Amino acid sequence: MSVTALLELRLKPDSLDAAHRLLAEILVDTRAFAGCEAVDVLVDNADPAHVIVKESWVSAEADAAYRAWRAGDGATELGSVLTGAPVLTVLTLDASI
């Protein structure tokens, strides 16, 4: 079953340009990762330092493999442009509702 992952980020306001460049670089690998169907970056109109990365994965297993890779060999410097830890929410579609 496919999953949607929402990664909520709070960027350092004085580093927005650098943060956006870094995200663009990081998301090249995310989009190329096996099982990734799509990645969109949503920026809060009222607060451009508040960003949500919306990812679609073919399965929970593909998402888990990606998270494991990012925690190891695929680690990035994203933390250098954040004010705190990212918040990850993984969702599945409930067609019965």
pLDDT tens track for 35-53: 999 999 999 999 999 999 9
Residue 1 pLDDT: 87
What is the chain's mean pLDDT, rounded?
Answer: 96
Statement: residue 18 has pLDDT above 90: yes
Which structural domains are found in the chain, ordered by start? 3-91 (3.30.70.100)
Write down the pTM of the prediction. 0.94
pLDDT in tens, 62-82: 999 999 999 999 999 999 999
Q: Which of 14, 8, 94, 6 shows the shortest CA–CA distance to 56?
A: 6
Name, in order, each residue with C-beta under 8 angstroms of 75's C-beta and a sequence gap of 6 or more. Answer: none
Quote the tokens at residue 25: 């670089």
CA distances from 8 to 48, 96, 97 (A): 12, 27, 25
